Structure 1
Amino acid sequence: MTSTAIEHAVHRVIDDMRTNLGQDLTIDDMARTAMFSKFHFTRVFKDVTGTSPGRFLSALRLQEAKRLLIDTEFSVADISSMVGYSSVGTFSSRFKACVGVSPSVYRELGGFADSIGPESPAGSGASSARTTLRGQVHLPEDRSEGHCYVGLFPTPVPQGRPTRCRVLNAPGPFELNDVPDGTWYLLVHSVPYGQEHLTSGSCDRDSVSVGRYGPVTVGADTLPLPVDITLRPLDVFDPPVLLALLDLRSAALEVAAG
Protein backbone atom coordinates (compact mmCIF):
# COMPACT_ATOMS: atom_id res chain seq x y z
CA MET A 1 0.00 0.00 0.00
CA THR A 2 1.30 3.46 -0.88
CA SER A 3 2.09 6.10 1.72
CA THR A 4 -0.69 8.26 0.26
CA ALA A 5 -3.25 5.48 0.76
CA ILE A 6 -2.05 4.97 4.34
CA GLU A 7 -2.34 8.69 5.08
CA HIS A 8 -5.85 8.74 3.63
CA ALA A 9 -6.81 5.84 5.90
CA VAL A 10 -5.38 7.59 8.98
CA HIS A 11 -7.13 10.81 7.91
CA ARG A 12 -10.46 8.92 7.83
CA VAL A 13 -9.89 7.69 11.36
CA ILE A 14 -9.02 11.18 12.67
CA ASP A 15 -12.14 12.59 11.01
CA ASP A 16 -14.17 9.83 12.67
CA MET A 17 -12.56 10.65 16.02
CA ARG A 18 -13.52 14.31 15.68
CA THR A 19 -17.09 13.41 14.74
CA ASN A 20 -17.53 10.96 17.62
CA LEU A 21 -15.57 12.46 20.52
CA GLY A 22 -18.34 11.57 22.95
CA GLN A 23 -18.54 7.95 21.86
CA ASP A 24 -16.65 4.95 23.20
CA LEU A 25 -14.25 4.44 20.29
CA THR A 26 -12.08 1.34 20.53
CA ILE A 27 -8.97 0.38 18.59
CA ASP A 28 -11.10 -2.23 16.81
CA ASP A 29 -13.53 0.51 15.72
CA MET A 30 -10.69 2.66 14.41
CA ALA A 31 -9.05 -0.26 12.59
CA ARG A 32 -12.35 -1.03 10.84
CA THR A 33 -12.62 2.60 9.72
CA ALA A 34 -9.08 2.42 8.35
CA MET A 35 -9.80 -1.01 6.85
CA PHE A 36 -6.64 -2.46 8.43
CA SER A 37 -6.01 -5.18 10.94
CA LYS A 38 -5.81 -3.84 14.49
CA PHE A 39 -2.08 -4.43 14.81
CA HIS A 40 -1.23 -2.98 11.39
CA PHE A 41 -3.45 0.04 12.04
CA THR A 42 -1.81 0.83 15.39
CA ARG A 43 1.64 0.74 13.79
CA VAL A 44 0.83 2.87 10.75
CA PHE A 45 -1.13 5.40 12.83
CA LYS A 46 1.91 5.97 15.03
CA ASP A 47 4.15 6.18 11.95
CA VAL A 48 1.97 8.95 10.50
CA THR A 49 1.13 10.96 13.63
CA GLY A 50 4.03 10.19 15.94
CA THR A 51 1.77 8.85 18.67
CA SER A 52 -0.72 6.08 19.41
CA PRO A 53 -4.41 6.21 18.37
CA GLY A 54 -5.54 6.26 22.00
CA ARG A 55 -3.26 9.15 22.95
CA PHE A 56 -4.28 11.08 19.84
CA LEU A 57 -7.98 10.59 20.63
CA SER A 58 -7.43 11.71 24.21
CA ALA A 59 -5.71 14.88 22.96
CA LEU A 60 -8.62 15.64 20.60
CA ARG A 61 -11.13 15.18 23.42
CA LEU A 62 -9.26 17.52 25.73
CA GLN A 63 -8.82 20.08 22.95
CA GLU A 64 -12.59 20.10 22.42
CA ALA A 65 -13.09 20.38 26.16
CA LYS A 66 -10.87 23.47 26.15
CA ARG A 67 -13.03 25.02 23.44
CA LEU A 68 -16.27 24.21 25.25
CA LEU A 69 -14.97 25.67 28.51
CA ILE A 70 -14.22 28.99 26.83
CA ASP A 71 -17.00 29.23 24.24
CA THR A 72 -19.98 27.79 26.14
CA GLU A 73 -21.59 27.85 29.57
CA PHE A 74 -21.93 24.07 29.89
CA SER A 75 -20.91 22.75 33.28
CA VAL A 76 -17.65 20.84 33.72
CA ALA A 77 -19.69 17.68 34.29
CA ASP A 78 -21.62 18.20 31.04
CA ILE A 79 -18.44 18.87 29.08
CA SER A 80 -16.84 15.79 30.58
CA SER A 81 -19.66 13.66 29.20
CA MET A 82 -19.70 15.46 25.84
CA VAL A 83 -16.06 14.54 25.20
CA GLY A 84 -16.39 10.90 26.15
CA TYR A 85 -15.61 10.67 29.88
CA SER A 86 -17.94 8.69 32.13
CA SER A 87 -16.32 10.13 35.27
CA VAL A 88 -15.96 13.87 35.83
CA GLY A 89 -13.19 13.12 38.34
CA THR A 90 -11.16 11.22 35.75
CA PHE A 91 -11.79 13.98 33.21
CA SER A 92 -10.69 16.72 35.62
CA SER A 93 -7.53 14.84 36.62
CA ARG A 94 -6.61 14.13 33.01
CA PHE A 95 -7.33 17.71 31.97
CA LYS A 96 -5.12 19.16 34.71
CA ALA A 97 -2.29 16.74 33.95
CA CYS A 98 -2.31 17.61 30.24
CA VAL A 99 -3.30 21.28 30.16
CA GLY A 100 -1.61 22.42 33.35
CA VAL A 101 -4.65 23.67 35.27
CA SER A 102 -8.04 22.24 36.24
CA PRO A 103 -11.05 22.75 33.93
CA SER A 104 -12.64 25.30 36.27
CA VAL A 105 -9.42 27.30 36.60
CA TYR A 106 -8.87 27.13 32.85
CA ARG A 107 -12.32 28.68 32.35
CA GLU A 108 -11.68 31.36 34.99
CA LEU A 109 -8.37 32.33 33.35
CA GLY A 110 -9.90 32.53 29.89
CA GLY A 111 -7.72 29.76 28.52
CA PHE A 112 -4.31 30.87 29.74
CA ALA A 113 -2.35 29.43 32.64
CA ASP A 114 -0.49 31.76 34.99
CA SER A 115 2.80 30.23 33.91
CA ILE A 116 4.30 27.27 32.12
CA GLY A 117 7.06 26.09 34.40
CA PRO A 118 9.12 22.98 33.75
CA GLU A 119 9.13 20.02 36.07
CA SER A 120 11.98 17.82 37.18
CA PRO A 121 11.51 14.24 36.00
CA ALA A 122 11.38 11.52 38.62
CA GLY A 123 14.79 10.27 39.60
CA SER A 124 16.63 13.36 38.38
CA GLY A 125 18.33 14.28 41.64
CA ALA A 126 20.61 17.20 42.13
CA SER A 127 23.66 14.99 41.70
CA SER A 128 22.69 13.94 38.16
CA ALA A 129 24.79 15.31 35.34
CA ARG A 130 22.90 17.84 33.25
CA THR A 131 23.31 18.89 29.63
CA THR A 132 22.63 22.00 27.53
CA LEU A 133 20.63 21.32 24.38
CA ARG A 134 21.23 23.92 21.67
CA GLY A 135 19.48 24.44 18.40
CA GLN A 136 17.95 26.74 15.83
CA VAL A 137 14.32 27.30 14.85
CA HIS A 138 13.92 28.14 11.16
CA LEU A 139 10.85 29.73 9.57
CA PRO A 140 10.23 29.34 5.82
CA GLU A 141 9.69 32.58 3.90
CA ASP A 142 6.02 31.78 3.26
CA ARG A 143 5.21 31.53 7.00
CA SER A 144 4.29 34.46 9.27
CA GLU A 145 6.78 35.24 12.04
CA GLY A 146 5.79 35.18 15.68
CA HIS A 147 6.80 34.12 19.18
CA CYS A 148 7.98 30.51 19.44
CA TYR A 149 7.31 28.19 22.37
CA VAL A 150 10.08 25.58 22.58
CA GLY A 151 9.37 22.67 24.92
CA LEU A 152 11.12 19.42 25.77
CA PHE A 153 8.68 16.60 26.51
CA PRO A 154 8.90 12.88 27.34
CA THR A 155 6.42 12.01 24.54
CA PRO A 156 5.71 13.37 21.04
CA VAL A 157 2.46 15.00 22.28
CA PRO A 158 2.82 18.57 23.65
CA GLN A 159 0.91 18.00 26.85
CA GLY A 160 1.66 18.19 30.55
CA ARG A 161 4.44 20.22 32.07
CA PRO A 162 7.56 20.28 29.88
CA THR A 163 10.87 19.05 31.20
CA ARG A 164 12.47 22.27 29.99
CA CYS A 165 11.01 25.13 27.96
CA ARG A 166 11.73 28.57 26.56
CA VAL A 167 9.79 31.25 24.72
CA LEU A 168 11.62 32.96 21.86
CA ASN A 169 10.68 36.42 20.67
CA ALA A 170 11.14 35.14 17.10
CA PRO A 171 12.50 32.06 15.30
CA GLY A 172 16.23 31.73 15.84
CA PRO A 173 18.80 30.12 18.14
CA PHE A 174 17.85 28.68 21.51
CA GLU A 175 19.36 26.88 24.48
CA LEU A 176 17.67 24.57 26.96
CA ASN A 177 19.89 24.38 30.02
CA ASP A 178 20.18 21.78 32.74
CA VAL A 179 18.51 19.01 30.69
CA PRO A 180 18.39 15.78 32.73
CA ASP A 181 19.33 12.37 31.40
CA GLY A 182 16.60 10.66 29.42
CA THR A 183 14.91 10.42 26.03
CA TRP A 184 13.06 13.57 24.98
CA TYR A 185 11.07 15.13 22.17
CA LEU A 186 11.58 18.76 21.20
CA LEU A 187 8.33 20.43 20.16
CA VAL A 188 7.90 23.98 18.82
CA HIS A 189 4.64 25.91 18.48
CA SER A 190 4.36 29.40 16.98
CA VAL A 191 1.56 31.81 16.10
CA PRO A 192 1.94 35.10 14.19
CA TYR A 193 2.36 38.35 16.07
CA GLY A 194 -1.06 39.71 16.92
CA GLN A 195 -2.59 36.28 17.55
CA GLU A 196 -0.94 35.66 20.93
CA HIS A 197 -4.20 36.50 22.69
CA LEU A 198 -5.99 33.54 21.08
CA THR A 199 -6.12 30.29 23.02
CA SER A 200 -4.27 27.39 21.41
CA GLY A 201 -6.52 25.71 18.89
CA SER A 202 -8.79 28.73 18.34
CA CYS A 203 -6.72 30.59 15.77
CA ASP A 204 -6.60 29.82 12.06
CA ARG A 205 -4.91 26.42 11.62
CA ASP A 206 -3.17 27.69 8.49
CA SER A 207 -1.41 30.42 10.48
CA VAL A 208 -0.06 28.12 13.21
CA SER A 209 3.47 26.84 12.68
CA VAL A 210 4.85 23.74 14.38
CA GLY A 211 8.04 21.73 14.45
CA ARG A 212 9.13 18.49 16.05
CA TYR A 213 12.45 16.76 16.60
CA GLY A 214 13.25 13.56 18.39
CA PRO A 215 13.79 11.36 20.10
CA VAL A 216 16.86 13.02 21.61
CA THR A 217 18.84 10.93 24.07
CA VAL A 218 20.72 12.72 26.82
CA GLY A 219 23.09 10.79 29.06
CA ALA A 220 26.57 10.62 30.50
CA ASP A 221 27.94 9.04 27.32
CA THR A 222 25.76 10.87 24.78
CA LEU A 223 26.32 14.55 24.01
CA PRO A 224 23.40 15.75 21.83
CA LEU A 225 24.30 17.54 18.62
CA PRO A 226 22.78 20.96 17.84
CA VAL A 227 19.18 20.63 16.67
CA ASP A 228 17.74 22.28 13.56
CA ILE A 229 13.94 22.58 13.44
CA THR A 230 12.14 24.02 10.41
CA LEU A 231 8.61 25.12 11.18
CA ARG A 232 5.72 24.07 8.94
CA PRO A 233 1.95 24.53 8.87
CA LEU A 234 -0.10 22.63 11.42
CA ASP A 235 -1.86 19.73 9.70
CA VAL A 236 -4.49 17.17 10.52
CA PHE A 237 -1.92 14.58 11.62
CA ASP A 238 -0.46 16.80 14.37
CA PRO A 239 -1.75 16.11 17.89
CA PRO A 240 -3.33 19.25 19.39
CA VAL A 241 -1.31 21.54 21.63
CA LEU A 242 -2.94 21.07 25.03
CA LEU A 243 -0.89 23.43 27.18
CA ALA A 244 -2.50 26.70 28.20
CA LEU A 245 0.13 28.89 26.58
CA LEU A 246 0.16 32.16 28.50
CA ASP A 247 3.80 32.71 27.55
CA LEU A 248 2.84 33.09 23.89
CA ARG A 249 0.34 35.81 24.79
CA SER A 250 2.94 38.01 26.43
CA ALA A 251 5.19 40.15 24.28
CA ALA A 252 8.15 39.47 26.54
CA LEU A 253 11.59 39.15 25.08
CA GLU A 254 13.24 35.76 25.25
CA VAL A 255 12.05 34.19 28.50
CA ALA A 256 13.51 31.16 30.18
CA ALA A 257 11.10 29.10 32.16
CA GLY A 258 13.06 27.57 34.99
Structure 2
Amino acid sequence: MRTDDPIERAIDCLWKRYSEPLSLTEIAESALLSRFYFSRLFKDATGVTPGRFLAAVRVHQAKHLLLHTPLRIADVSTAVGYSSLGSFTNYFTSSVGVSPGRYRHIARGGGFDLPGPRPGPRAGCGAIAGTLDLPAGHGNAHVYVGAFRTPIVQYPPSAAVLVRVPVGRPGAYRLPDVPEGTWHVHAVGVAEGVWPDPWHQRTSLVGSCDAVAVAAERTAPAGVRLRRERPADPPVLLALPALEPLPPPAAGPRPALLAAAAD
Protein backbone atom coordinates (compact mmCIF):
# COMPACT_ATOMS: atom_id res chain seq x y z
CA MET A 1 0.00 0.00 0.00
CA ARG A 2 1.48 3.36 -1.06
CA THR A 3 1.16 5.85 1.79
CA ASP A 4 1.63 8.81 -0.59
CA ASP A 5 -1.60 8.04 -2.46
CA PRO A 6 -4.65 9.51 -0.68
CA ILE A 7 -7.13 7.05 -2.17
CA GLU A 8 -5.00 4.05 -1.26
CA ARG A 9 -4.66 5.44 2.28
CA ALA A 10 -8.45 5.66 2.49
CA ILE A 11 -8.92 2.15 1.12
CA ASP A 12 -6.39 0.86 3.62
CA CYS A 13 -8.43 2.55 6.36
CA LEU A 14 -11.63 0.86 5.13
CA TRP A 15 -10.03 -2.60 5.16
CA LYS A 16 -8.57 -2.08 8.63
CA ARG A 17 -11.55 -0.35 10.29
CA TYR A 18 -14.55 -1.89 8.53
CA SER A 19 -16.00 -3.07 11.86
CA GLU A 20 -16.29 0.53 13.09
CA PRO A 21 -19.16 2.97 12.36
CA LEU A 22 -16.99 5.05 10.03
CA SER A 23 -18.32 8.38 8.80
CA LEU A 24 -17.42 9.99 5.49
CA THR A 25 -15.51 12.68 7.39
CA GLU A 26 -13.36 10.06 9.15
CA ILE A 27 -12.60 8.27 5.88
CA ALA A 28 -11.69 11.56 4.20
CA GLU A 29 -9.43 12.45 7.12
CA SER A 30 -7.52 9.20 6.62
CA ALA A 31 -6.76 10.45 3.10
CA LEU A 32 -5.83 13.92 4.41
CA LEU A 33 -8.40 15.52 2.10
CA SER A 34 -11.56 17.57 2.48
CA ARG A 35 -14.73 15.51 2.52
CA PHE A 36 -16.19 16.87 -0.72
CA TYR A 37 -12.99 16.72 -2.77
CA PHE A 38 -12.24 13.25 -1.39
CA SER A 39 -15.69 11.89 -2.36
CA ARG A 40 -15.24 12.94 -6.00
CA LEU A 41 -11.68 11.66 -6.15
CA PHE A 42 -12.61 8.33 -4.55
CA LYS A 43 -15.47 7.65 -6.97
CA ASP A 44 -13.28 8.53 -9.96
CA ALA A 45 -10.69 5.99 -8.77
CA THR A 46 -12.96 3.13 -7.71
CA GLY A 47 -16.24 3.65 -9.57
CA VAL A 48 -18.26 3.73 -6.32
CA THR A 49 -18.76 6.01 -3.34
CA PRO A 50 -16.77 5.49 -0.13
CA GLY A 51 -19.93 4.24 1.58
CA ARG A 52 -20.59 1.65 -1.13
CA PHE A 53 -16.97 0.51 -0.99
CA LEU A 54 -17.16 0.13 2.81
CA ALA A 55 -20.39 -1.87 2.52
CA ALA A 56 -18.70 -4.15 -0.03
CA VAL A 57 -15.69 -4.67 2.26
CA ARG A 58 -18.03 -5.66 5.09
CA VAL A 59 -19.83 -8.25 2.99
CA HIS A 60 -16.52 -9.59 1.67
CA GLN A 61 -15.19 -10.00 5.20
CA ALA A 62 -18.45 -11.63 6.28
CA LYS A 63 -18.06 -14.20 3.49
CA HIS A 64 -14.56 -14.97 4.75
CA LEU A 65 -15.74 -15.39 8.35
CA LEU A 66 -18.66 -17.60 7.32
CA LEU A 67 -16.37 -19.85 5.33
CA HIS A 68 -13.34 -20.02 7.60
CA THR A 69 -14.63 -19.64 11.18
CA PRO A 70 -17.30 -21.29 13.35
CA LEU A 71 -18.78 -17.93 14.38
CA ARG A 72 -22.55 -17.72 14.59
CA ILE A 73 -24.18 -15.55 11.93
CA ALA A 74 -25.17 -12.99 14.59
CA ASP A 75 -21.53 -12.77 15.68
CA VAL A 76 -20.37 -12.40 12.07
CA SER A 77 -22.85 -9.55 11.66
CA THR A 78 -21.41 -7.74 14.67
CA ALA A 79 -17.81 -8.45 13.64
CA VAL A 80 -18.27 -6.68 10.30
CA GLY A 81 -19.90 -3.58 11.75
CA TYR A 82 -23.64 -4.24 11.72
CA SER A 83 -25.75 -3.44 14.78
CA SER A 84 -28.81 -5.16 13.30
CA LEU A 85 -28.78 -8.83 12.28
CA GLY A 86 -31.78 -8.25 10.02
CA SER A 87 -30.06 -5.44 8.12
CA PHE A 88 -26.93 -7.54 7.71
CA THR A 89 -28.87 -10.57 6.47
CA ASN A 90 -30.89 -8.52 3.98
CA TYR A 91 -27.86 -6.70 2.54
CA PHE A 92 -25.75 -9.85 2.40
CA THR A 93 -28.50 -11.79 0.62
CA SER A 94 -29.23 -9.07 -1.92
CA SER A 95 -25.52 -8.63 -2.71
CA VAL A 96 -24.27 -12.24 -2.64
CA GLY A 97 -27.39 -13.93 -4.02
CA VAL A 98 -27.93 -16.32 -1.08
CA SER A 99 -28.44 -15.89 2.66
CA PRO A 100 -25.46 -16.04 5.04
CA GLY A 101 -26.45 -19.48 6.30
CA ARG A 102 -26.98 -20.83 2.80
CA TYR A 103 -23.67 -19.38 1.65
CA ARG A 104 -21.80 -21.14 4.46
CA HIS A 105 -23.52 -24.45 3.78
CA ILE A 106 -23.08 -24.69 0.03
CA ALA A 107 -19.67 -23.00 -0.16
CA ARG A 108 -18.18 -25.47 2.31
CA GLY A 109 -19.76 -28.34 0.41
CA GLY A 110 -18.41 -27.17 -2.96
CA GLY A 111 -21.76 -27.66 -4.68
CA PHE A 112 -22.40 -24.21 -6.09
CA ASP A 113 -24.46 -23.48 -9.18
CA LEU A 114 -23.59 -20.53 -11.37
CA PRO A 115 -25.41 -17.41 -10.19
CA GLY A 116 -27.89 -16.52 -12.91
CA PRO A 117 -30.32 -13.67 -13.50
CA ARG A 118 -33.57 -13.35 -11.61
CA PRO A 119 -36.48 -14.84 -13.56
CA GLY A 120 -38.79 -12.40 -15.28
CA PRO A 121 -39.95 -11.04 -18.64
CA ARG A 122 -37.14 -10.59 -21.17
CA ALA A 123 -38.77 -8.43 -23.85
CA GLY A 124 -36.72 -5.77 -25.61
CA CYS A 125 -33.38 -7.51 -25.19
CA GLY A 126 -30.11 -7.54 -27.04
CA ALA A 127 -26.83 -9.30 -26.36
CA ILE A 128 -23.23 -8.62 -25.39
CA ALA A 129 -20.33 -10.57 -26.90
CA GLY A 130 -16.59 -10.34 -27.02
CA THR A 131 -13.30 -11.91 -26.04
CA LEU A 132 -11.57 -12.59 -22.72
CA ASP A 133 -7.78 -12.09 -22.64
CA LEU A 134 -5.50 -13.41 -19.91
CA PRO A 135 -2.36 -11.65 -18.65
CA ALA A 136 0.99 -13.18 -19.50
CA GLY A 137 2.46 -15.80 -17.22
CA HIS A 138 -0.73 -17.74 -16.51
CA GLY A 139 -2.11 -21.04 -17.70
CA ASN A 140 -5.67 -22.02 -18.59
CA ALA A 141 -8.42 -20.15 -16.74
CA HIS A 142 -12.08 -20.54 -15.87
CA VAL A 143 -13.81 -17.18 -16.08
CA TYR A 144 -17.28 -16.15 -14.97
CA VAL A 145 -18.46 -13.18 -17.05
CA GLY A 146 -21.74 -11.33 -16.63
CA ALA A 147 -23.64 -8.11 -17.25
CA PHE A 148 -24.30 -6.07 -14.10
CA ARG A 149 -25.99 -2.78 -13.31
CA THR A 150 -23.25 -1.56 -10.97
CA PRO A 151 -19.44 -1.31 -10.85
CA ILE A 152 -19.57 -3.91 -8.05
CA VAL A 153 -19.83 -7.60 -8.91
CA GLN A 154 -22.98 -8.37 -6.97
CA TYR A 155 -26.28 -10.17 -7.42
CA PRO A 156 -28.14 -10.26 -9.75
CA PRO A 157 -26.44 -10.42 -13.14
CA SER A 158 -28.67 -9.80 -16.13
CA ALA A 159 -26.91 -12.59 -17.99
CA ALA A 160 -23.84 -14.67 -17.19
CA VAL A 161 -21.76 -17.54 -18.49
CA LEU A 162 -18.72 -19.59 -17.46
CA VAL A 163 -15.94 -19.69 -20.09
CA ARG A 164 -12.79 -21.78 -20.25
CA VAL A 165 -10.01 -19.55 -21.59
CA PRO A 166 -7.01 -21.51 -22.95
CA VAL A 167 -3.47 -20.32 -22.47
CA GLY A 168 -2.04 -18.33 -25.35
CA ARG A 169 -5.25 -17.21 -27.02
CA PRO A 170 -8.45 -15.30 -26.16
CA GLY A 171 -11.67 -17.00 -25.10
CA ALA A 172 -14.99 -15.98 -26.65
CA TYR A 173 -18.18 -15.31 -24.70
CA ARG A 174 -21.76 -14.27 -25.46
CA LEU A 175 -24.38 -12.95 -23.04
CA PRO A 176 -27.88 -13.28 -24.53
CA ASP A 177 -31.15 -11.69 -23.37
CA VAL A 178 -29.63 -8.54 -21.88
CA PRO A 179 -32.26 -5.80 -21.51
CA GLU A 180 -31.78 -2.47 -23.28
CA GLY A 181 -29.68 0.00 -21.35
CA THR A 182 -26.15 0.57 -20.11
CA TRP A 183 -24.32 -2.31 -18.41
CA HIS A 184 -21.06 -3.11 -16.69
CA VAL A 185 -19.46 -6.31 -18.00
CA HIS A 186 -17.46 -7.93 -15.20
CA ALA A 187 -15.25 -10.99 -15.41
CA VAL A 188 -13.98 -12.99 -12.42
CA GLY A 189 -11.64 -15.90 -13.01
CA VAL A 190 -9.05 -18.23 -11.62
CA ALA A 191 -6.01 -19.10 -13.73
CA GLU A 192 -3.71 -22.04 -13.30
CA GLY A 193 0.01 -21.49 -13.05
CA VAL A 194 2.48 -22.77 -15.57
CA TRP A 195 4.70 -25.84 -15.48
CA PRO A 196 5.68 -27.70 -13.32
CA ASP A 197 2.86 -27.39 -10.75
CA PRO A 198 -0.09 -25.41 -12.09
CA TRP A 199 -2.55 -26.26 -9.29
CA HIS A 200 -0.34 -24.74 -6.57
CA GLN A 201 -0.04 -21.47 -8.48
CA ARG A 202 -3.70 -20.66 -9.14
CA THR A 203 -4.35 -16.92 -9.30
CA SER A 204 -7.52 -14.85 -8.99
CA LEU A 205 -8.10 -12.47 -11.89
CA VAL A 206 -10.64 -9.74 -12.58
CA GLY A 207 -11.56 -7.55 -15.51
CA SER A 208 -14.33 -5.23 -16.62
CA CYS A 209 -15.74 -3.18 -19.45
CA ASP A 210 -17.90 -0.29 -18.28
CA ALA A 211 -20.74 1.56 -19.97
CA VAL A 212 -21.71 -1.05 -22.55
CA ALA A 213 -24.83 0.20 -24.36
CA VAL A 214 -27.28 -2.58 -25.33
CA ALA A 215 -30.08 -2.10 -27.86
CA ALA A 216 -32.89 -4.52 -28.66
CA GLU A 217 -32.09 -7.17 -31.26
CA ARG A 218 -28.45 -6.08 -31.46
CA THR A 219 -25.18 -7.43 -30.13
CA ALA A 220 -22.91 -4.97 -28.35
CA PRO A 221 -19.15 -5.70 -28.47
CA ALA A 222 -17.21 -5.76 -25.21
CA GLY A 223 -13.73 -7.21 -24.96
CA VAL A 224 -12.38 -7.80 -21.44
CA ARG A 225 -8.72 -8.06 -20.47
CA LEU A 226 -8.25 -9.81 -17.14
CA ARG A 227 -5.61 -8.81 -14.58
CA ARG A 228 -4.69 -9.25 -10.95
CA GLU A 229 -6.81 -7.33 -8.46
CA ARG A 230 -5.80 -3.81 -7.46
CA PRO A 231 -6.45 -1.98 -4.16
CA ALA A 232 -8.99 0.30 -5.87
CA ASP A 233 -11.12 -2.64 -7.08
CA PRO A 234 -14.29 -3.06 -5.00
CA PRO A 235 -14.52 -6.61 -3.59
CA VAL A 236 -16.42 -9.26 -5.51
CA LEU A 237 -19.63 -9.91 -3.57
CA LEU A 238 -21.39 -12.43 -5.80
CA ALA A 239 -21.23 -16.00 -4.51
CA LEU A 240 -18.44 -17.55 -6.59
CA PRO A 241 -16.47 -19.63 -4.07
CA ALA A 242 -15.36 -22.16 -6.68
CA LEU A 243 -13.50 -19.37 -8.51
CA GLU A 244 -11.29 -18.55 -5.53
CA PRO A 245 -7.77 -20.03 -5.24
CA LEU A 246 -7.96 -23.23 -3.17
CA PRO A 247 -5.49 -25.83 -1.86
CA PRO A 248 -4.28 -28.58 -4.24
CA PRO A 249 -6.42 -31.73 -4.60
CA ALA A 250 -4.52 -33.60 -1.87
CA ALA A 251 -5.85 -31.13 0.68
CA GLY A 252 -9.48 -31.61 -0.29
CA PRO A 253 -11.90 -32.31 -3.15
CA ARG A 254 -11.80 -30.18 -6.22
CA PRO A 255 -14.77 -27.77 -6.35
CA ALA A 256 -17.72 -29.20 -8.25
CA LEU A 257 -18.13 -26.10 -10.43
CA LEU A 258 -14.59 -26.13 -11.77
CA ALA A 259 -14.51 -29.91 -12.11
CA ALA A 260 -17.66 -29.83 -14.24
CA ALA A 261 -16.43 -26.91 -16.30
CA ALA A 262 -13.16 -28.69 -17.06
CA ASP A 263 -14.90 -31.75 -18.53
Distance 1:151 1:227 in 2: 11
Which residue of the other structure, out of 215, 226, 229, is the alignment partner of 1:231? Answer: 226
State yes or no: 1:252 paired with 2:260. yes
The alpha-carbon deviation at position 231 of structure 1 amounts to 1.0
The alpha-carbon deviation at position 244 of structure 1 amounts to 1.4
Corresponding residue of 1:63: 60
1:1-150 map, 5 Å: 8-110=5-107, 113-119=112-118, 125-126=121-122, 128-150=123-145
> Per the alignment, in what secondary structure is the counterpart of residue 191 of structure 1?
strand
CA deviation map 1:199-237 (0-9, x unaligned): xxxx98x921111101112235x9564212111111111
Q: Percent identity?
A: 38
Distance 1:20 1:247 in 2: 28
- Structure 1's 136 and 115: CA in aligned 2 closer, same or farther, altered over 3 A? closer
User: What's the TM-score, normalizing by structure 2?
Assistant: 0.82
Q: What is the root-mean-square deviation in Å for CA atoms of aligned residues?
A: 2.6
Mapped contact 2:59–2:92 kept (Cα < 8 A): yes
- Structure 1's 175 and 254: CA in aligned 2 closer, same or farther, altered over 3 A? farther
Query: AA paired with 2:260?
Result: A
Query: AA paired with 2:118?
Result: E
CA deviation map 1:40-83 (0-9, x unaligned): 11111111111111111111111111111111111111110110
Query: AA paired with 1:96?
Result: T
Q: Which 10-residue stretch deviates more, 222-231 or 134-143? A: 222-231
Mapped contact 2:214–2:220 kept (Cα < 8 A): no
The alpha-carbon deviation at position 89 of structure 1 amounts to 0.5
Mapped contact 2:127–2:220 kept (Cα < 8 A): no
> Per the alignment, in what secondary structure is the counterpart of residue 260 of structure 2?
coil
Q: Structure 1: which 5+ runs fail to align?
A: 195-202
Corresponding residue of 1:189: 188
Distance 1:12 1:144 in 2: 33
Distance 1:100 1:162 in 2: 10
> Per the alignment, in what secondary structure is the counterpart of residue 17 of structure 1?
helix
The alpha-carbon deviation at position 247 of structure 1 amounts to 6.4
Question: How many residues get paired?
Answer: 237
Q: Which 10-residue stretch deviates more, 105-114 or 72-81? A: 105-114
The alpha-carbon deviation at position 241 of structure 1 amounts to 1.1
Q: Structure 2: which 5+ runs fail to align?
A: 194-199, 244-256
